[in-house]
């Protein structure tokens, strides 16, 4: 660490999550330390440390003894313009060497995984190092012990919530890949009505057009501090909040950001991510919904069984009771895809409107029944009846509103600025919808960054369609995104297959 300090300049540059430091090409500290553009450097200020990537700038950028910091660098180092910082080479990040071991086929030990997760939670890895770690461990490249090690390490480096007075705490997760499969808010409303404690924390979308947190955020406040979450749960038995705001699993948040940028996944990362967050949230029991289908995330029954087995095994090793439910993943659920459109479907189901999507209703009831059965050991049939009564009687809708009020109030749903209705070109039975491409289409339209963007299906698989009938409506907030999504649709006519033809 160089003994001369430099003065911080706010560059006014948003480099997203990767901190960048800017030094003048004639900076004497730069020369003394032997830095060059793309060096990894370490900054110290007031007891805080930050590792960042160096960019080198022209002399005219700021005065001689200054150093520029990007927005995230200022935030992480907790400094503003004018502060004094010290700068030196970034220390060698030793856990990186164990990645080589993994590349050459050796399983990582608990200690090695712990060191990697520790470094990642402390922001010592650059984005390409995180990308490398994730890619090395992607697919099925982590064995069961490694997945257990990864889960435990992520729990160790995050928070641990507790719910005093509650011996059993329930949770739910859907593996995803099924557009519109927005069951969590319905399940939480139903089972908390029955007296179960279900403090549901959810993520924003990773690679999909909406996450539960994105969808709930269109209806109420989801970004609650821990004390408020605890208040909501003690008042209502449940909550529907964003987990990222309470930093349950900081390593997971870092990994998810890069997974999102790379559109990358892997069973080890999935299991560790899901279970570490459930354990961190203080849950004792969890239902994992695994939809299976040609264009869902999990493609075959065999893959689903394998994943279910791993989830249960890792859950046992880490102290959480896991029950996996394998469901149909062959077609989108509901009609809306994207935060606002999915919220619309949820409200329709809760209020038992006749036009509410029946498939979404049935899935929510099934999952709720499994949770009730886990809690009461009453058998699935009795549990399903109980869940149905709660929904049909209006108690679930009342409970949902109570939870939303406790979180800050129920909001009205907005409508997107632009929309366009796409019609069928052929007549016939709608035979298949490509879930993955449909999700991509909704994302290109702007979901979830624009909550009201996405699409609404007017038909689903199995329906008979006449040429000229509306297939779906696309919603977007900018002409650029609308056109971008449409050009993708035009190039991907196989999203909908009608009467044996691509659309």
Q: Which residue has the tokens 């008979």?
A: 464
Residue from 5, 7, 49, 96 touching a copy of itself (CB under 8 A): that is 96
Residue with Cβ nearer a copy of itself (387 or 439): 439
DSSP state for residue 424 in the 8-state scheme: -
Counting contacts by CB under 8 A, is residue 226 touching a copy of itself? no
Residue with Cβ nearer a copy of itself (70 or 473): 70
265 is catalytic: yes
Counting contacts by CB under 8 A, is residue 86 touching a copy of itself? no
Q: How is 40-52 classified by DSSP, letter by letter? A: EEEEEETTEEEEE
Contacting residues for 219 by C-beta, under 8 A, at least 6 apart? 343, 347, 404, 410, 411, 413
Alpha carbon distances (Å) from 468 to 232, 427, 457, 471: 48, 8, 15, 9
Which is catalytic among the residues 265, 345, 373, 450?
265
Tell me how far apart the alpha carbons of residues 210 and 181 are, in angstroms, rounded to a whole number: 10
Contact 413/218 with Cβ under 8 angstroms? Answer: yes
- For 291, left (φ over 0), alpha (ψ -120 to 50), or beta? beta
Contact 456/336 with Cβ under 8 angstroms? Answer: yes
Tell me how far apart the alpha carbons of residues 259 and 101 are, in angstroms, rounded to a whole number: 22
Residue from 330, 410, 484, 501 touching a copy of itself (CB under 8 A): that is 484
- In the complex, the smallest distance separating the C-beta of residue 70 from a copy of itself, rounded to whole angstroms, is 8
Counting contacts by CB under 8 A, is residue 317 touching a copy of itself? no
Q: For a copy of itself, which stretch binds (CB under 8 A), given 181-189, 215-223, 238-246, 481-489?
A: 481-489
Counting contacts by CB under 8 A, is residue 138 touching a copy of itself? yes
Counting contacts by CB under 8 A, is residue 16 touching a copy of itself? yes
Residue with Cβ nearer a copy of itself (216 or 298): 298
Residue from 15, 313, 330, 376 touching a copy of itself (CB under 8 A): that is 15
Tell which positions 458-477 bind a copy of itself, by CB under 8 A. 477
Counting contacts by CB under 8 A, is residue 258 touching a copy of itself? yes
> At what angle are helices 144-156 and 301-318 packed, to 10 degrees?
50
Q: For a copy of itself, which stretch binds (CB under 8 A), given 25-33, 275-283, 412-420, 423-431?
A: 25-33
Contact 313/144 with Cβ under 8 angstroms? Answer: yes
Tell me how far apart the alpha carbons of residues 134 and 141 are, in angstroms, rounded to a whole number: 10
Counting contacts by CB under 8 A, is residue 56 touching a copy of itself? yes
- In the complex, the smallest distance separating the C-beta of residue 32 from a copy of itself, rounded to whole angstroms, is 5
Pairing, β 285-292 against β 321-328:
parallel
Tell which positions 104-133 bind a copy of itself, by CB under 8 A. 104-105, 126-133
Tell me how far apart the alpha carbons of residues 454 and 414 are, in angstroms, rounded to a whole number: 13
Counting contacts by CB under 8 A, is residue 313 touching a copy of itself? no
Contact 359/348 with Cβ under 8 angstroms? Answer: no
Residue from 114, 177, 211, 266 touching a copy of itself (CB under 8 A): that is 266
Residue from 13, 206, 420, 461 touching a copy of itself (CB under 8 A): that is 13
- In the complex, the smallest distance separating the C-beta of residue 8 from a copy of itself, rounded to whole angstroms, is 15
Counting contacts by CB under 8 A, is residue 92 touching a copy of itself? yes
Residue with Cβ nearer a copy of itself (73 or 396): 73
Pairing, β 198-202 against β 238-242:
parallel
Angle made by CA atoms 75, 69, 22, in degrees to the nearest 5: 155
- In the complex, the smallest distance separating the C-beta of residue 13 from a copy of itself, rounded to whole angstroms, is 5
Alpha carbon distances (Å) from 78 to 5, 10, 43, 247: 16, 12, 11, 18
User: Which residues form the interface with a copy of itself (CB under 8 A)?
Assistant: 2, 11-17, 22, 25, 31-34, 36-38, 55-58, 60-61, 70, 88-89, 92, 96-97, 99-100, 103-105, 126-136, 138-141, 258, 261-264, 266, 446, 449-450, 477-481, 484, 488
Give catalytic residue positions: 265
């Amino acid at each position: 660490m160089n003994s001369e300090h430099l003065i911080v300049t706010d560059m006014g540059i948003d480099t997203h999550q990767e901190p960048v430091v800017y030094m003048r090409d004639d900076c004497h500290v730069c020369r003394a330390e032997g830095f060059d553009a793309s060096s990894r450097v370490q900054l110290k200020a007031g007891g805080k440390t930050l590792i960042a990537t160096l960019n080198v700038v022209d002399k005219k950028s700021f005065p001689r003894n200054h150093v520029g910091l990007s927005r995230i660098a200022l935030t992480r180092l907790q400094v503003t313009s004018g502060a004094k910082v010290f700068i030196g080479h970034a220390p060698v990040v030793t856990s990186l060497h164990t990645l080589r071991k993994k590349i050459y086929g050796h399983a990582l030990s608990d200690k090695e995984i712990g060191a990697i997760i520790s470094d990642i939670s402390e922001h010592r890895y650059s984005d390409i190092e995180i990308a490398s770690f994730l890619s090395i461990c992607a697919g099925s490249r982590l064995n069961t012990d490694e997945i257990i090690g990864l889960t435990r390490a992520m729990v160790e480096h995050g928070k641990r919530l507790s719910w005093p007075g509650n011996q059993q705490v329930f949770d739910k997760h859907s593996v995803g890949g099924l557009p519109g499969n927005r069951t969590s808010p319905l399940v939480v409303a139903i089972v908390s009505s029955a007296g179960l404690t279900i403090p549901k924390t959810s993520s924003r979308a990773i690679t999909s057009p909406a996450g539960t947190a994105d969808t709930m955020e269109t209806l109420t406040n989801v970004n609650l501090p821990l004390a408020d979450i605890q208040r909501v749960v003690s008042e209502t038995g449940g909550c529907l909040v964003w987990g990222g705001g309470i930093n349950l699993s900081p390593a997971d948040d870092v990994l998810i950001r890069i997974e999102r940028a790379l559109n990358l996944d892997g069973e080890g990362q999935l299991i560790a991510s899901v279970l570490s967050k459930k354990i961190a949230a203080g849950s004792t029991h969890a239902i994992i919904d695994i939809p299976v289908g040609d264009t869902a995330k999990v493609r075959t029954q065999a893959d689903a069984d394998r994943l279910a087995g791993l989830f249960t095994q890792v859950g046992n090793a880490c102290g959480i009771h896991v029950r996996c439910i394998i469901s149909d993943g062959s077609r989108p659920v509901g009609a809306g895809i994207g935060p606002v459109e999915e919220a619309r479907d949820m409200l329709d189901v809760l209020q038992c409107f006749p036009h509410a999507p029946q498939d979404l209703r049935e899935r929510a009831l099934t999952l709720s029944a499994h949770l009730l059965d886990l809690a009461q050991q009453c058998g699935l049939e009795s549990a399903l009846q109980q869940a149905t009564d709660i929904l049909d009687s209006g108690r679930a809708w009342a409970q949902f509103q109570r939870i939303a009020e406790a979180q800050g109030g129920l909001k009205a749903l907005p409508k997107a600025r632009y929309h366009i209705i796409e019609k069928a070109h052929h007549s016939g039975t709608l035979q298949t919808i490509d879930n993955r491409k449909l999700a991509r289409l909704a994302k290109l339209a702007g979901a979830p960054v624009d909550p009201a963007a996405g699409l609404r299906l007017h038909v689903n698989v199995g329906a008979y369609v006449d040429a000229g009938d509306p297939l779906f409506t696309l919603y977007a907030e900018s002409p650029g995104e609308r056109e971008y999504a449409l050009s993708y649709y035009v190039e991907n006519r196989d999203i909908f297959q009608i009467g044996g033809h691509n659309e």
